Amino acid sequence: MSTADATVDEDVEVRGPQMDVLRRFIAGDLAELRVLLALALIWIVFYIAEPRFMSSVNLSNLVLQMTAVGLVSIGIVHVLLLGEIDLSVGAVSGLCASIMAVLSVKHGWSPYLAIAAAVAAGAAIGLFQGSVFTRFAVPSFVVTLAGLLAWPGAQLKVLGETGTINLNDPKILGLTGTFYSDTVGWIMAFVAIAAYAAITLRSRQSRASQGLSTPPFGLVVGRIVLVAVATLIAVWVLNDDRGVPLAALILVGFCLMFFYMTTRTTFGRHIFAVGGNAEAARRAGINVNRVRVIVFVLASTMAAIGGIMAASRLLAVNQSSGAGDFLLLAIAGPVIAGTSLFGGRGSVWHALLGALVITSISNGMDLLALDTSVKFIVTGAVLLLAVVIDAIARRQRQAAGRV
């Protein structure tokens, strides 16, 4: 049956519920499985080329490296879900990190106030960009492109003549320099696994009690086991080095928070609706522009938080903070992991998964001491490949759905 055929006489009634669960599992989860396989392949290749890649020290470093870009990507996922783009997140991260550094080092503000001011500045920038985008119906691409050009100028102003500010506040440096003891790491792992298992099983139970279809019990248990094994291995590797870093908890914590928001709340539902069909959302009574502005505020706020983490890790802020490929990696990550550029499809976890893939490639090539030129070309090729695979998969999914 051809995919161009918009109306088909046969309906999809022949499938049983079991088939549908299986089909959804394949259509929904296989995309992520594909990325996980690609990640495994990347790791194997780098391991063969340089065994130190899989050492616990390097894998711990990998986690620390991916934190900043992963946090920025969380905001980007929301923007992509709307079918929009935010090109200013790199510049915003640099500006906000600079604001924090100046307030902390030059003005002696408490670290909490300095961080709060930087985050508030990010939110204000998002409010401004989102308002211009919705009020004047300027494409988000152009509004944020203007931000990409303008905010680095503001960053130079904020930093002043010195250009580089070395951070010295232990609280700010501790954001990426804190590691938990082995025992605390294990306790957190088991609490997380128990919570995941409890939530998953309870959700299945409440569906069953209302007579709704439930996923096969084996599948549910399989997922819990998979999550448990992955968590335990991660904690084991991290404990083998310095322990579970606070930075990883911050990244996972934000992912959990926004995952809940996008999938379990009315507002999250409205983000998907606006991204899928803005006109339908408007007619359903959703304030489309309000959703858009809030998402742009979220994106800039997450950019500020990512910038703060990057500054903490580099122990300094300078004129090129947030510049270079930081922005494009933050956008490429979720896209590689399967979030659609056309809106309405994606997951907050793609921010984490994408950051892991992108950072693995960059980290591995650093270990192999490859030239920057090679790094850029390889990263670009991976992004292109991921987008092409996603486009093919989407076409297949549509074909399968229509027949």
Partner 1 sequence: MNANGSAPVLSLKGVSKSFGPVQALSDVDFDVHSGEVVALVGDNGAGKSTLVKTIAGIHSPDSGTISFEGQDVHITNPADAVDLGIATVYQDLALCDNLDVVENLFLGREERSGGPVGVVAPLDEVGMEKQTGELLENLAVTITDVRAEVGTMSGGQRQQVAIARSLLGEPKLVMLDEPTAALGVRQTAQVLALVKRLRERGYGVVVISHNLADVFEVADRIYVLRLGREAGDFKAGEASQEEVVGAITGAGASGNGGGKR
Q: Determine, following the binding rule CB under 8 A, whether residue 20 of this chain makes contact with partner 1.
A: yes
DSSP 58-119: HHHHHHHHHHHHHHHHHHHHHHHHTT---TTHHHHHHHHHHHHHIIIIIS---HHHHHHHHH
Q: Determine, following the binding rule CB under 8 A, whether residue 210 of this chain makes contact with partner 1.
A: yes
Q: Determine, following the binding rule CB under 8 A, whether residue 212 of this chain makes contact with partner 1.
A: yes
Q: Which is nearer to partner 1, 7 or 373 (CB)?
A: 7
Q: Determine, following the binding rule CB under 8 A, whether residue 8 of this chain makes contact with partner 1.
A: yes
Q: Which is nearer to partner 1, 267 or 376 (CB)?
A: 267
Q: Determine, following the binding rule CB under 8 A, whether residue 5 of this chain makes contact with partner 1.
A: no
Tokens standing for 171?
């609280």
Q: Determine, following the binding rule CB under 8 A, whether residue 9 of this chain makes contact with partner 1.
A: yes
Q: Which is nearer to partner 1, 177 or 276 (CB)?
A: 276
Residue 245 pairs in a beta bridge with 179
Using the rule CB under 8 A, give the single segment among 122-130, 236-244, 281-289, 354-362 that binds partner 1. Answer: 281-289
First CA to last CA across the chain, in angstroms? 6
Q: Determine, following the binding rule CB under 8 A, whether residue 15 of this chain makes contact with partner 1.
A: yes
- Positions in 243-272 near partner 1 (CB under 8 A): 260, 264-267, 269, 272
| Cβ neighbours for 301, distance < 8 A, ≥ 6 positions apart | 75, 119, 122, 123, 126
DSSP 147-173: HHHHHHHHHHHHHTTT--EE---HHHH
CA 303, CA 306: separation in Å to the nearest integer? 5
Q: Determine, following the binding rule CB under 8 A, whether residue 345 of this chain makes contact with partner 1.
A: yes
Neighbouring C-beta atoms of residue 202, cutoff 10 Å: 10
Q: Determine, following the binding rule CB under 8 A, whether residue 280 of this chain makes contact with partner 1.
A: yes
Contact 89, 299 (CB under 8 A): yes
Q: Which is nearer to partner 1, 5 or 381 (CB)?
A: 5
Q: Which is nearer to partner 1, 223 or 397 (CB)?
A: 397
CA 107, CA 118: separation in Å to the nearest integer? 14
Q: Determine, following the binding rule CB under 8 A, whether residue 371 of this chain makes contact with partner 1.
A: no
Q: Which is nearer to partner 1, 6 or 369 (CB)?
A: 6
CA 309, CA 71: separation in Å to the nearest integer? 9
Q: Determine, following the binding rule CB under 8 A, whether residue 2 of this chain makes contact with partner 1.
A: no
Residue from 3, 24, 225, 380 in contact with partner 1 (CB under 8 A): 24
Q: Determine, following the binding rule CB under 8 A, whether residue 402 of this chain makes contact with partner 1.
A: yes
Q: Which is nearer to partner 1, 130 or 245 (CB)?
A: 130
Q: Which is nearer to partner 1, 87 or 278 (CB)?
A: 278
Output the smallest distance, CB 164 to partner 1, in A: 41
CA 271, CA 81: separation in Å to the nearest integer? 7
Q: Determine, following the binding rule CB under 8 A, whether residue 273 of this chain makes contact with partner 1.
A: yes
- The long-range contacts involving 234-238, CB below 8 angstroms and separated by at least 24 positions, are 234/189, 235/185, 235/186, 235/188, 235/189, 237/56, 237/59, 237/60, 238/56, 238/59, 238/60, 238/63, 238/185
Residue from 106, 135, 202, 207 in contact with partner 1 (CB under 8 A): 207
Q: Determine, following the binding rule CB under 8 A, whether residue 1 of this chain makes contact with partner 1.
A: no
Q: Determine, following the binding rule CB under 8 A, whether residue 13 of this chain makes contact with partner 1.
A: yes
Interface residues with partner 1 (CB under 8 A) are 6-13, 15-17, 20, 24, 206-207, 210-213, 260, 264-267, 269, 272-273, 275-277, 279-281, 283-286, 344-345, 397-398, 400-402
